[in-house]
Amino acid sequence: MSEPRVRRRFAPGTTIEDLKEYMGPFVDRLGYKFNTESWFVDDVLTSELEILEQTGDVYCPCRVRTGDPKEDVKIICPCIPFHRDEFAAIKKCWCGLFVLKEVEDGSELFGVIEEPSGEVEVPVFRVEDLPPGQIRHVKVGKADIAVARVGDEFFALSNVCRHAFAPLADGFLDGYHVMCPWHGWRYDVRDGTTDHPDADVRTYPVTVREGHVFVTVRIRG
C-alpha cells in the first residue's frame, strides 16, 4: 500500500493551539515531537501564522519559497515526510521546531545547520501502523522503499520491481516473499533476491525501538 500524504490547510484566524493540535499527532506517528523548549516552539509557530496570513499556507520560516508549487510543498510544515533522512541525521527538522522523540534537551538543536551525510537510522512509522502480513511504501530522501512485516519482523527493500518498475508495496505479501502487482515476480523481503537473473533489489537494515520502525539509509551532503 502507498504511504498516505494527508495535509490539512489552515484558514486565517488559526491559532498556535490549532497548529499544535494538528501537528503534534502528525509528527508523533513519524517519531518526532515538538522541541522541548516551549518558548521556541511558540516563536516558530507565531512566525508560521504570519506566513499563513501572507501566503495562505504554513511554510517553514527558515526556508525560502521558490514560487514552484511542486517544490514549495516540500517546505510546508510539518515537512518531515519530504526530508526524513536529513532530519534523522541531525535529530530535528531544519529550524528545530520538531526533534526526534529521543532528544531530551531541544535547546541544543536550534537553527539551521549544514546538510548531513553518511548512514543514518530514519524513523518511518510506528510499529502498530503496519499490521503483520502487510507491506507499505515509504519515501526516505530520494529512496522509494517498501517495508514489510512478517509476524513481528520488519524488512525493507527497494520499492521498484526490476522487471517493469512496478511498485512492490502495491503487491501481495506471502510469508517472506512479496509478489509484484503487475507480472507476479517474487522477491524475498529478507535479502531482495528473486528467481530471475540479475534482477535482485536492494535491501536496507531495519531496527525497532521504542515503538517505532527505523530504516538505515546512506545520504550524501
Residue 202 above 50 pLDDT? yes
Average pLDDT over residues 70-98: 89
Average pLDDT over residues 28-35: 93
Q: Between β-strands 143-150 and 135-140, what pairing exists: parallel, antiparallel or unpaired?
A: antiparallel
pLDDT of 116 reads: 57
The tens digit of pLDDT for each residue in 114-148 reads 555 578 888 999 999 999 999 999 988 778 899 99
pLDDT band at 220 (very low <50, low <70, confident <90, very high): low
Domains and CATH numbers, the chain: 16-112 (3.90.460.10), 124-219 (2.102.10.10)
Backbone phi and psi for residue 84, each to the nearest 5 degrees, phi listed first: -55, -45
% of the chain residues with pLDDT over 70: 90
More reliable by pLDDT, 215 or 4: 215
Residue 41 above 90 pLDDT? yes
pLDDT of 111 reads: 62
Of 40-49, 93-102, 103-112, 209-218, the range with the lowest mean pLDDT is 103-112
Specify whether the backbone of 96 is left (phi greater than 0), alpha (psi in -120 to 50) or beta.
Answer: left
More reliable by pLDDT, 150 or 52: 150
